[in-house]
Amino acid sequence: MDYYNIKKFVCETSGNSNFTFFEALKVEQSEMSMMEARFPDPVKEPILRYVSFSTTPRIDALVDEVYAKFKDDFFPGDQVVVKTDTGDKVHGTVREKARFNAITLPDGTVKEGYCSYRVLLQNNEETTVNSISQIARERNSFTKWYVKAFLKMSLTRSTKLGSPWVLKDSVAKKYRISLEYPDHLKQYEHPKDSLRKATLTNKLKANEHIFDNLKETPPTAHEQENGFTLQLWKQKWYDALKHCTVYFQDTPDSDADPEIKQKILTLFQYSSVKVLPKFDPKTVNFLVTSIPYSPKATYTPDNIFYHVLDNKIKVWHYEKCFRFFKSLNITYRKIMAAQTQMDENSASPDVASPNPNNGYVDILPAPGSRAQATTPLDSRSSTPINVFNGSKFRPPGLIDDLKLPFRGVSKSRPKLIKLPGVQDSSDILESWIFLNMYARALIIDNFTFDDYFAALRWEDEETVCPLLMEIYCGMFKAFMDGRRRVLVTLPKENALDNGDDDDKLNDDDQPDDDSSEIKTESPKALAQEEGEKAELSHEEDEAEEEIINHNAYSFLRYKNRPWEDRLATRQFKEGNWLMVLIGIMAMVEFLPEYKDDINRIFEILAPAEEASTPETLQHNYFKKLSAEDRAKTIAIVMSLLLNGTVIRSHIEKCLEDATALRRDRLELIKEFKVIMDQAIVIQKNIIETLKPITTAQIKNWNHDPEKTQELIEQKKKVSRLGFSYLPPEPTTLEKAVCASNPEFMKLIKQRVEKVKEIDEMKQKRRNLEKSLNEIDCQRICYIGRDRFYNRYWWFEKNGLPNLSSAAHHDDEEDDGADMSDAGSEYEEESYLMGRLWIQGPGDEDRNVFLKFDDDQLKSWNEIVQVPLKDSRDNKDDGINPTDKLNDLTNVADVEVREGEQEMESVRKAHFVQAAQALFGLKFEKGEVRDEKGFVVVDKYGSTIERQFSPIERKVLEEGSDILISSSDWGYLERPEQIEELLRWLNIEGEREKHLRKKIVDLQDQITNSLSSRVKTVGIGCKSEDEVKFEKIIAETEISDDDEGGAEEQGSQGETDGDKASTRSEAKKRRREDDEVRMPKRTRRGGQRDLEKQMMKERQARLDRLEHAREMLQSLRTDRDRQNLLSWVNSRAVEAYGYSHYDGPKIAAKSIGRGRKKTRR
């Protein structure tokens, strides 16, 4: 039973792995039902007839072949979308299909063949379609994923090399397709299958009974010595039971316990034995009864035992059933344990649910595979050898990370860094990934996360931020083209009643007829201008009754011009881009997931008490809208574009390009093997030539002693080197032999040429792998989870340009090889993200494993999230200078700045308060105490022997950097932090072992990216001016602890350290000494003069301190500002000749001539 709980089973339909047997069965059934429901029925039979007896070796190649052939081929009954002459798209059903062959015209030209379709449209009109460009299937019905699932469900193939794909018997019978092998494939008709299956099949064909030569009892010791082992006996019974049936005899005088009978029934059902409701002597194999049976007795024909001997039916008592299954290591207890485990795993996040049409990056893949015991290949269909063999079977040694003993708080865990002034980084990260993954589709240059986050916090409304404007305007162009046609499928309000997410955002990238254009005036604008109308529905009346605290709807028709016209004419300047943004968000405002956010953003951009002007919009956007809210607006538009024509077409192109690249890679591998074999043959001849050379011959070559000794050492290595080792250049020994052997010189030249060809092919393969990673735009790199279910993400692997200069490859030993093409548009030392991101646990992980429910999370956030809110409210008061552009690039400096120290101290204070309020843990003086005051963690990090809950361990180990939910994000930005992380991870735990392995595999790439960012941004490195002003700040703060400052700070409590108190006391003693030396009559007047002098000096120091802070702020701000101002969207300039925001330039002469004509 333990075998079926090992996560090594594979879903046969999708190919996803790392499932238990029960999980794989459940997922497979779910995907089958999904495919049956969505895959078009009319195309199934033609596909099956096409692939029957196909000799295409790989299933992926067969899928590509079928998809290319039937993508534009339609059959009667197909649900299609027809493009009419007016450009509208209408759904319909194919009624008839006529195929016309190619013909030769009188002038000699050949007119290609085509198909004509008669289609019944939704409005009951019929139309004839002759062009393939006017008809298409629903994109979310006929996809490669569905084709592959359908083929896997319908086809099978023998293990014999070169055997064709054959339809399964049930499929062939359903569609009436012959299973007779063609003449050229007759040799594959009876393949040599596995021994036990062939034996069982031959017995059944020869009318032999299934129980012939099959003992009921395990083999004896003598039989095992002769080769008939216990494992082989079990395996034969496992196979035989799958083809058996059982009948339970119930009699009135039966004394069998119903519970025992139910257990026996469970054992048979678990062993795949079919339970028959009625007794049929020709089909029953087992008869379970409580009535004694004797083979020597004579029974009448009406007795059930009359048919036992003739049909070789096994009559077993309940006790014998228990004994038999126990000998097979199948018990009722193990079955129940497996069922319980399956129920628990069904609610676990480790079970991946199929979702092929989610439309965006799925940032959570199946968990990594774990090391498992060796088992037979047919793991899905049979119980393996030695599975229930008692002590000989051992489950995997890894255990859950939180079950490992907690001996102390580790000091090696790297400190996480969080984005300043941001509570939830999810929208910022998701939008950045989307914009860079689909940068080519949106015609935007790739940009770093540093620049993106700085652009989101741009506050200068007078100066245009090129990056921010290009992001918005590029997305707007993908929303609607220049002819006012919407390029996305918009959700409908009445679709919400169905509760189906697929209906909200249809996966079809071709918009429907009713959503191809936007009405000139939205319902909200009409309602505001004309009032409520009588024909509005009850839901719309309730929406109108809601209190509206903004003037955003007035911009939908600002100055009697709809926002759609501004978008269609690409007029984004002078605040028009904000009107377009409001218009798009107003169209999806009714969706529950967006409603609150959109209303909040509208109230910030267009408050009811302010005038409705473009200037007001821009001022409120740049001065009042936070970086999170700006990212939220981008995320809303992004969610609409995901099902749009632009993005879907780009994804389709990437898939086609990836298929072509994989074919090229396969051909390259074949060529590489051929050349490698040729090079090995040459190397073999070279070694055979060098072997006969003796040491004495080398000494007779009259070389100097040092060279002679070198040649002797190389000769000794010749016999040890394998044929596969190909030196890039000839060795000294080979050069010496070439001088006297011309044939040997030819071999050396041939090897050098082959080595060059091999190096070129390796370079081509690296370029292909790089291109495949860059166009893999539907996946991002999820690394794994740590002991506290935090998720680790690396955002520079799939779907993004490979800007790293790492030279880590599997089969190359060359160091520092250039991975980029000669004409690459990216610099060798560059980066896009330059961070390793860590996300808090998901909701299910938090609730199920950490035992921290939503109510507790809400209480925690009410305490912990206060400092960020306060920092936003007071960012202009100097309390939180981290909410500025410059702080992004220097948040991890060794010398943390004053504003960040303030922020960190506030965060720690609220963390301590939350930990005490929810868990009774008191953090004080480097120790942690419980509610009773006992020390649970001392100042060295050691813990007492007590049971800590998972969430308590998380609080103790992560401290103020804790990631408590999926909305909490932190990152590592220094290469040395990766080393610290690897030292902190515990490889004895299940999750962290796989996580560490993944990080080690990506370590070179991660370290290079992080190092590039450190050099580019200057983390830890300051300019001379920065050092100068920081020195002034430090010196001024130290010398500013005079009497006046001490009096002002005294009211705030004693927050300084011991050194500050010591300096204050020393200064006080010196002042007292000065007072003693003064004459009494001048002491009072001198005291006043001294106080005035001290006040002047203190004010001067404060002015100098303020000036230094402003200059330091200006230096860092100017650096980031210049980076943003120098950014240019070269992709748009190359494609259009202008950027998205600027638009085409209008010639001045044309304008002038137009005005003159108007005057006339």
Q: Which of 330, 346, 334, 332 is nearest to 383 (CA)?
A: 330
Residue carrying structure tokens 């800007």: 803
Counting residues of the chain whose pLDDT is more than 90, the rounded percentage is 22
Q: Give residue 496's identity as a one-letter amino acid code.
A: L
Q: Would you place residue 1021 in the very low, low, confident or very high pLDDT band (cuts 50, 70, 90)?
A: low
Structure tokens belonging to residue 471: 């992001």
Highest-pLDDT range among 201-210, 441-450, 1022-1031? 441-450
Cα gap 1033→955, rounded to integer Å: 35
DSSP string computed for 889-952: GGTT-SS--HHHHHHHHHHHHHHHHHHHHHH--EEETTEEE-TTS-EEE-TTSBB-SS---HHH
Q: Which of 969, 634, 1010 is nearest to 793 (CA)?
A: 969
Cα gap 578→601, rounded to integer Å: 12
Query: Residue 983's pLDDT is what?
Result: 92
Cα gap 402→1022, rounded to integer Å: 42
Structure tokens belonging to residue 845: 């992980």
Packing angle between helix 466-479 and helix 576-587, nearest 10 degrees? Answer: 50
Cα gap 715→709, rounded to integer Å: 10
Q: What is the pLDDT of residues 119-137, one digit of tens each?
A: 998 888 888 888 888 898 8
What distance lies between CA 673 and its chain's CA centroid?
A: 34
More confident residue, 697 or 681: 681
Sheet with 286-288: strands ordered across? 274-275, 245-248, 286-288, 314-316
Beta bridge partners of 517: 485
Q: What is the pLDDT of residues 87-108, one digit of tens each?
A: 788 889 999 988 888 888 777 7
The verdict on pTM exceeding 0.95 is no
**Average pLDDT score, the chain:** 76
Q: Would you place residue 1056 in the very low, low, confident or very high pLDDT band (cuts 50, 70, 90)?
A: very low
Cα gap 958→644, rounded to integer Å: 42
Contacts of 1146 (CB under 8 A, 6+ apart): none
More confident residue, 740 or 395: 740
User: Residue 572 to residues 276, 469, 641, 725, 730: CA-CA distances in angstroms?
Assistant: 74, 9, 19, 63, 65
Cα gap 221→669, rounded to integer Å: 52
Cα gap 163→905, rounded to integer Å: 70
Cα gap 315→288, rounded to integer Å: 6
Helix (H) or strand (E) holding 1056: none
3-state helix, strand and coil shares in percent for the chain, rounded to the nearest 5: 50, 10, 40
End-to-end CA distance of the chain: 95
Q: What is the pLDDT of residues 766-795, one digit of tens each?
A: 888 888 877 776 667 889 999 999 999 998
Cα gap 1009→1003, rounded to integer Å: 10
Q: Give residue 434's identity as a one-letter amino acid code.
A: F
Query: Residue 722's pLDDT is what?
Result: 64
Q: Which of 969, 1007, 631 is nearest to 834 (CA)?
A: 1007
Examine the pLDDT at 993 and tell me if it is beyond 60. yes
Give the least confident one: 48-62, 387-401, 984-998.
387-401
More confident residue, 1056 or 1089: 1089
Q: What is the pLDDT of residues 1032-1049, one digit of tens each?
A: 777 665 444 444 443 444
Q: Give residue 1131's identity as a one-letter amino acid code.
A: R
Q: Quickly count: other Cβ atoms within 10 Å of residue 926's Cβ.
A: 10
Q: Would you place residue 710 in the very low, low, confident or very high pLDDT band (cuts 50, 70, 90)?
A: confident
Cα gap 317→290, rounded to integer Å: 6
Query: Residue 195's pLDDT is what?
Result: 43
Q: Would you place residue 329 in the very low, low, confident or very high pLDDT band (cuts 50, 70, 90)?
A: confident
- Rounded to the nearest 5°, which phi and psi values hold at 657? -65, -40
Contact call for residues 864 and 965 (beta carbons, < 8 A): no
Cα gap 777→120, rounded to integer Å: 37
Query: What DSSP state is assigned to residue 314?
Result: E
Beta bridge partners of 275: 246
Query: Residue 879's pLDDT is what?
Result: 34
Sign for the CA dihedral angle at 1111, 1116, 1117, 1121 comes to positive
Query: Residue 76's pLDDT is what?
Result: 92
Examine the pLDDT at 338 and tell me if it is beyond 60. yes
Cα gap 78→87, rounded to integer Å: 21
Beta bridge partners of 239: none
Q: What is the pLDDT of residues 573-585, one digit of tens each?
A: 989 999 999 999 9
Structure tokens belonging to residue 460: 């200068």
Query: Residue 343's pLDDT is what?
Result: 62
Cα gap 680→677, rounded to integer Å: 5
Cα gap 632→598, rounded to integer Å: 9
Examine the pLDDT at 254 and tell me if it is beyond 60. no
Give the least confident one: 545-549, 695-699, 730-734, 1093-1097.
695-699
Q: Would you place residue 908 in the very low, low, confident or very high pLDDT band (cuts 50, 70, 90)?
A: confident
Cα gap 1027→1032, rounded to integer Å: 9
Query: Residue 829's pLDDT is what?
Result: 54
Query: What DSSP state is assigned to residue 124?
Result: S
Question: Helix, strand, or coil here: 851?
Answer: coil
Query: Residue 766's pLDDT is what?
Result: 87
Structure tokens belonging to residue 244: 């058996």
Contact call for residues 291 and 251 (beta carbons, < 8 A): yes
Residues in the chain: 1160
The residue-averaged pLDDT of 1138-1149 equals 75
Q: Quickly count: other Cβ atoms within 10 Å of residue 682's Cβ.
A: 22
Sheet with 135-137: strands ordered across? 126-129, 114-121, 89-100, 79-83, 135-137
Q: What is the pLDDT of residues 478-515, one digit of tens each?
A: 999 888 899 998 887 654 444 444 443 344 444 444 33
User: Residue 484 to residues 227, 479, 480, 1072: CA-CA distances in angstroms?
Assistant: 80, 10, 6, 84
The residue-averaged pLDDT of 143-169 equals 87
Give the least confident one: 62-71, 398-407, 478-487.
398-407
Examine the pLDDT at 965 and tell me if it is beyond 90. yes
Beta bridge partners of 91: 81
Q: Would you place residue 616 in the very low, low, confident or very high pLDDT band (cuts 50, 70, 90)?
A: very high
* Greatest pairwise CA separation for the chain in angstroms: 141
Examine the pLDDT at 1083 and tell me if it is beyond 70. no
- Rounded to the nearest 5°, which phi and psi values hold at 157? -155, 145
Which runs of consecutive H residues, i.e. helices, occur in 569-626? 576-587, 592-605, 614-624
Give the least confident one: 506-515, 602-611, 1088-1097.
506-515
Give the least confident one: 54-63, 104-113, 191-200, 1034-1043.
191-200
More confident residue, 500 or 381: 500
Contacts of 1023 (CB under 8 A, 6+ apart): 1115
Helix (H) or strand (E) holding 367: none
Q: Quickly count: other Cβ atoms within 10 Å of residue 28's Cβ.
A: 23
Query: Residue 523's pLDDT is what?
Result: 38
Query: What DSSP state is assigned to residue 1016?
Result: I
Counting residues of the chain whose pLDDT is more than 70, the rounded percentage is 73
Examine the pLDDT at 840 and tell me if it is beyond 90. yes
Q: Would you place residue 1020 in the very low, low, confident or very high pLDDT band (cuts 50, 70, 90)?
A: low
Examine the pLDDT at 316 and tell me if it is beyond 70. yes
Query: Residue 777's pLDDT is what?
Result: 66
Cα gap 75→837, rounded to integer Å: 49
Q: Give residue 149's identity as a one-letter amino acid code.
A: A
Examine the pLDDT at 190 and tell me if it is beyond 70. no
Examine the pLDDT at 861 and tell me if it is beyond 60. yes
Query: Residue 945's pLDDT is what?
Result: 79
> Where are any strands of DSSP class E within 804-888?
836-839
Cα gap 180→189, rounded to integer Å: 9
Query: Residue 522's pLDDT is what?
Result: 41
Cα gap 800→776, rounded to integer Å: 8
Q: What is the pLDDT of residues 1064-1075, one digit of tens each?
A: 554 555 555 554
Query: Residue 421's pLDDT is what?
Result: 85
Which runs of consecutive H residues, i.e. helices, occur in 318-375? 318-327, 332-346
Q: Quickly count: other Cβ atoms within 10 Å of residue 457's Cβ.
A: 22
Helix (H) or strand (E) holding 94: strand 89-100
User: Residue 918 to residues 852, 863, 932: CA-CA distances in angstroms?
Assistant: 11, 10, 15
User: Residue 121 to residues 80, 125, 136, 717: CA-CA distances in angstroms?
Assistant: 9, 5, 13, 79
